[in-house]
Structure 1
Amino acid sequence: MTETARADDAGPITSGVVPGLGTVLAGITMVAMLVPVRRGVDDPVVWAGTILAAAAVLAFLVRRHGGIERTIAGPIAAGSSITVVLLTGYALNQGTTAPVSVPALSSTIPIVFVAFVTAGLTASVGVADYLGIGVGGLKRRTQQVVVLTAVGFVGLFAPYLTTPVVALPVLPFLDSFSEIQRTLLNQVVGQVGMALGTVLVVGAFLKLTDRDLSFIDLRRPTLRDLAWIVGGIVVLFGVLYAISLSMQATGVESADHATTQSAQNAPEMLLVLIPLAILVIGPFEELLYRNVIQKTLYETFSRAGAVVVASVIFAAVHVMAYDTAGLGAVIASLGTIFGLSIVLGVIYERTDNLVMPALVHGIYNAVVFTNLYFLVG
């Protein structure tokens, strides 16, 4: 679709439902941000987030009552809310969580994280309102995002079922292997299990959605495609460097990937992961998250929107891999993954060839693993 609304979205635009939903979400964000303020948190980041959330509320309210056009209210609400996402992420990283007790759950909820989530949703509604997407279109897109997010997480957990199957043939011989050999074998089995699980999930998705293998975008790279690979790798590391510099400048701490922690105890595993990054990790992750999820999103989102939404899903499924530190550090790491995923998504969107992002992703991971090996080896 294009950046404008579909014809079947036009009817509900004037109903005020979409700006009304935006008002509610922005209001929740504002109230959540007021909690640490009322508790005496004297942090300019929190105050700025509260003010910007209020600006989003005001933009939606005025828009709903006909005071300004959607082309003005939408960008104000979306821009304010995206900034709130960044501010709340920073606040969480610096330890400002404002926990609220939930007696029914016998636990607490970090209310600043609630603001982080609702601000992201508010930004989405602001973009939808700007594009003239009505309540029907918003519902359709939301349903698709929920389904494809579920597909992404099924792809994440599928290896827990397939890896034991892959391991069965080698189990009788484990006692004859040394500890290092078992470590290397575990990596091979784990990655083969991941590949098998991904293939099963993709196959099931194609079957359930009445698609065939022609949906998979595989073709031999041309010279132009090779330029995309080289350029993509350079841009990917450039984005990583820029994000790292900004984090250092602002004092943001990130979480280590679980592989990094494992490699400190057994650096030899990286010698196996380096080739597997190119042969397995890159191709099969891109198969699921770019060729299946991002391409399916083209049906209801603009291509640019599909790249962003697919990147959000891709970052979200990495939460377990980075669950090695506090909430704020995990969010910072997922933010990095989101930025890198945008690059991969653009490469796939521009080339319509799975080989391109698969190679860029795989080579990037291989370089990272190589560097890590020399650091901890």
Structure 2
Amino acid sequence: MTETARSDAVSVPSAVVPGIGIFLSAVVLATLFVPVNRGVDDPAIWASVGFATVATLAFLVGATAVANSRTSGWIGAASSTVVVLLVGYALNQGITAPVSVPLVSTPAPLLFATFCVAGLATGIGAAYAVGVDITGLVVRSAYTALLSAVGAVGLVSAQFATLFLLLPIVLAAGMPSMPQFMVLSQIGMAVGTGVVAGGYLLVRQFDLSYIDLEIPSKRDVLWTVGGIIVLFGALFVISTVFYTTGVESSDHGTAQQAEENPEILLVLIPASLLVIGPFEELLYRNVIQKSLYETFSRYGAVVVGSVIFAAVHVLAYATAGVGEVIASLGVVFGLSIVLGIIYERTENLVVPALIHGAYNAILFANLYLSVA
């Protein structure tokens, strides 16, 4: 990559940024008092109230004493992160604080809104800590929204491409079998994702040199082997934490399909290496993460890119309640951080593509052995 990492410490922030943090933390506190007032006596909720209070006070100090911006920003970010984890845990344990919403028949989980707002407060705290002013915050927010849209369009385009390939086959020969449909869906994913990535490069007037494809060096091979080991190590640690704390996660939609049609896994195992790994990494690492380097620091881009990567997987894991989905997306986020760091270190798309593909292939092979 020829782009230089952009420092986030661009200027001394005004009181506007911590003011936004105060507002967000106050909203978090207000929503947390709803389950408290309803008599929910859960340690995670009460601890969340405490950390949300700390975050609010930290932002308040930052707004009144600019000299303390860095320290108060990190305290606000750290406290809000703890709130995200605690509220996510509460949601996973079935505490949702449902509230009625006009024109909606099903009550909405208020704590999910708390989870999202606390996540925004985390971002505001981190931005304030590294010196981002309100102009920088607006630019970064707009760029994040734009690249989130690119990621979402990549997902939708893959589905449309699959439908485009499927329709003439259905009209000519009827509905294909599940393995045949899975082959079509993988081709559709490659076409749809590739079109979106290519379209983005065309709009930005980047040539093919923007794509970081290089023959792996010995160093890249070591990164690849180490990355696979780290990914499975991270999965083991996260699974152990989930088991110890009683956190339940949702299954990927493919896992449920595989229980009825194990043969689709025989398609997904090679597709992981040939399609899923390469094309997801092309879009979410080489396009989205690399583009984020223009407005974020490199490691800031890794984090933001991983949030986008996790968010676009929400439909794939929407097989259970909101708390279980959050847990699964947390795993995706953690694994994406690993892939993002490896891409940033190697500057070679081949490395995270191989790691991602091998990781998925091993998981699918293990699933096949368990259900076949």
- The TM-score range, normalised by the shorter chain, is over 0.9
| Cα deviation, residue 166, structure 1 | 2.3
SS in 1 for 2:262: coil
Say if 2:150 is the partner of 1:146: no
The one-letter amino acid paired with 1:30 is L
Task: Tell me if 1:347 matches 2:371.
Answer: no
Secondary structure (helix, strand or coil) at the match of 1:242 reads helix
In 2, distance between residues paired with 1:226 and 1:203?
27
Q: State the partner residue of 1:265.
A: 260
Q: How far apart are the structure 1 equivalents of 2:160 and 2:259? A: 27
* Contact 1:174 1:182 (C-alpha < 8 Å) held by counterparts: no
Mapped to 2, the partners of 1:205 and 1:61 lie a distance apart of 41
Q: CA RMSD in A?
A: 1.5
Whether 2:47 is the aligned partner of 1:48: answer yes
Q: Distance in 1 between matches of 2:101 and 2:67?
A: 39
* Map of 1:114 onto structure 2: 113
What's the TM-score, normalizing by structure 1?
0.95
Q: 2:250 aligns with which of 255, 263, 281?
A: 255
Cα distance in 2 for partners of 1:113, 1:252 equals: 16
Distance 1:47 1:67, change over 3 A: farther
Residue matched to 1:369: 364
Match for residue 199 of structure 1 among 194, 198, 203: 194
1:5 maps to 2:9:
yes
Q: Secondary structure at the match of 2:100?
A: strand
Kept in 2, the 8 Å contact 1:62–1:68? The answer is no
Tell me which residue corresponds to 1:210: 205
> 2:84 maps to what in 1?
85
Letter aligned with residue 285 of structure 1? E
Deviating more after overlay: 251-260 vs 53-62: 53-62
Contact 1:22 1:122 (8 Å CA) reproduced: yes
Q: Deviations over 1:305-356 (max 9, x none)?
A: 1001110000000000001000000000000000110111011000111100
Q: CA deviation at 1:170?
A: 4.0
Displacement of 1:67 in angstroms is 7.7
Cα distance in 2 for residues equivalent to 1:67 and 1:128: 14
Distance 1:95 1:25 in 2: 24
The CA deviation at 1:182 is 1.8
SS class of match (2:313): coil
> Is 1:295 matched with 2:299?
no
After TM superposition, give the deviation of residue 163 of structure 1 in Å. 1.0
Partners of 2:70 and 2:189 in 1: CA distance: 45
AA aligned opposite 2:291: T
| Aligned match of 2:27 | 28
Q: What SS is found at the alignment partner of 2:99?
A: strand
- Structure 1 66/369 Cα, relative in aligned 2: closer, same or farther at 3 Å? same
Aligned to 1:75: 74
Code of the aligned partner of 1:5: A
Alignment-mate amino acid for residue 315 of structure 1 = A
One-letter amino acid matched to 2:268: L
Aligned partners of 2:107, 2:207: CA distance in 1, in Å? 47
| Residues in 2 aligned to 1:245 and 1:152: alpha-carbon distance in whole angstroms | 31
The within-5 A match list for 1:116-131 is 116-131=115-130
Aligned residues: 368
Paired letter, 2:137: L
Partners in 1 of 2:66 and 2:135 — Cα distance? Answer: 23
**For residues 159-198 of structure 1, what are the structure 2 equivalents within 5 Å?**
159-168=158-167, 170-171=169-170, 174=173, 182-198=177-193
Letter of the structure 1 residue corresponding to residue 9 of structure 2: A
Query: Structure 1 residue aligned with 2:331, among 322, 336, 339?
Result: 336
Mapped partners of 2:266, 2:130: distance in 1: 48
Deviates more, 1:277-286 or 1:97-106: 97-106
The residue identity in structure 2 corresponding to 1:341 is S
- The TM-score normalised by the length of structure 2 is 0.96
Q: Give the conservation status (yes or no) of the 8 Å contact 2:272–2:360.
A: yes
1:44-86 Cα deviation digits (max 9, x unpaired): 1100001110111111112211186012101110110000000
Give 1:2 shift: 4.5
Map 1:224-243 to 2 at 5 A.
224-243=219-238
CA contact (8 A) 1:92 1:113 kept: yes
Shift, 1:258, TM fit: 0.3
TM superposition shift of 1:100: 1.2
Per-residue CA deviation, residues 102-129 of structure 1 (Å, 9 max, x unaligned), is 1243442211111111111101110111
Note the C-alpha offset of 1:203. 1.4
State the SS of the aligned residue for 1:108.
strand
Contact 2:28 2:117 in 1 (8 A): yes
1:173 to partner: Cα distance: 6.3
> What is the CA–CA distance in structure 2 between the aligned matches of 1:271 and 1:362, rounded to whole Å?
14
Quick one: which amino acid aligns to residue 134 of structure 2?
Answer: V
3-state SS of the aligned residue for 1:109? strand
Letter paired with 2:322: L
Structure 1 portions without partners, runs of 5+: none
How much does 1:213 deviate?
Answer: 1.3
- The answer to whether the Cα contact below 8 Å between 1:255 and 1:323 also exists between their aligned partners in 2 is yes
